Structure 1
C-alpha cells in the first residue's frame, strides 16, 4: 500500500511539473504588440486571405467592372433581379451569383408554370457571364404537374433580356 501511494505521489509530481514551468513562462511575457511594419502590411492588403481573397468594402480592381463588394458583376446582378422581379424568389446569393426563383404561373395560364435558375459566372459584363436554366410544367388530366421541355430560344431570350438590362444600367451609371 505504501508503495502504491508513493507511485501516485511521483505521478502527481511529474504531472504538476509541466504546469509549473508553463506558469513561470508568464512572468516574462515578451512583446504584446506586433511591430508597426507588420500592422502596415495588414492595412495595405485590404483582404482577409491575401491578394485576391475576401475583401470588405469592395476591391479597387473590381469597381471598374461594376463591382460593389459582391462576388459577381453588379450590373448583371441588378439586371437579373429586375428581369425576374415578377417571379417569387426562392433564393438569391450575391456572393455565389445564383438566383433561384420559385414556380410562377401567369394569371391567364393557370395550368402552366415556370421556374428559373440563373447563374452569374464572371465579374465581366459579357454574354458568357450568365447562364439560365428554365423549367416548365403543365397540369395533366389528373391535375398533377408534369415536366415539359422548354424551347431553347426562350432561355436565350431570357439571357439576352438580362444582358440588355445590365448594359442599360452600366450606360446609365457612366453618364451620371
Structure 2
C-alpha cells in the first residue's frame, strides 16, 4: 500500500513539475512591444542631432484628428440628437461616454409623453453609431416611433455635416 501511495505521489509531483514548466501557473507573460509611429521615426532620421522644431511645413500633410468628434462621439449625431429632441427636458449629458438622458416631455402637437435615452457610441457618422430608447408612461414606445425618431436624428446630423463642410 505504501509503495502505491509513493508512486501516486511521485507521479503527481512529476505532472506538477511538467505543467509548471509549461507556464500554465502564471509564469512570465508576453508583453507587447511599444514602437514609435512612422512620423516619429522619420523625424528621428531627419533631425538626428539637431534640435527638433515644434512644427514643420510637413505637419500640414499629416493626418489630423477628425473635426467631427467630441471626445469619443460624433458631434453631428450628438448635436442632432439634442436639436431633434429639444422638447424633452435634459436630465443628464455625458459627451465622453456618449449618453444623453431626458425626462418626460410631450412633442409639439402630440398627446403622448415620451422619455429618451440616447447613446452615441462611435465617432463615425453612421446609423450604427446611434442607439435610441424611447419610453412612454405606459412602457416602451413602438418600434415604428423609435425608427422615425432615429431617422430624424440621422437626417439632421447629415444636414449639420453638410453645413459644416461649406465653410
Q: Do they fold alike, i.e. is TM over 0.5?
A: yes
TM-aligned CA distance change 1:106 to 1:75, over 3 Å: closer
**Partner residue, 1:136:** 136
Structure 2 unaligned segments of length 5 or more: list them: 1-50, 56-62
1:133/1:149 CA distance change after superposition, 3 Å: closer
Q: What is the total number of aligned residue pairs between the two structures? A: 109
Q: Could you say which residue in structure 1 is the equivalent of 2:24? A: none
User: What is the CA–CA distance in structure 2 between the aligned matches of 1:108 and 1:164, rounded to whole Å?
Assistant: 21
Q: CA deviation at 1:108?
A: 6.4
Are the counterparts in 1 of residues 87 and 107 from structure 2 also a CA contact under 8 Å? no
Moved over 4 A (4+): 106-110
Matched with 1:119 is 119
Q: CA RMSD in A?
A: 2.6
Aligned 1:19-168 pairs, distance under 5 A = 60-63=64-67, 66-68=68-70, 70-105=71-106, 112-137=112-137, 147-168=138-159
> Which runs of 5 or more structure 1 residues have no equivalent in the other structure?
1-39, 45-58, 138-146
Deviation at 1:61, TM superposition (A): 2.5
Cα 1:109–1:83 shift into 2, 3 Å: closer
Q: Cα distance, 1:76 vs. partner?
A: 0.8
CA distance in structure 2 between the partners assigned to 1:114 and 1:85 by the alignment = 12
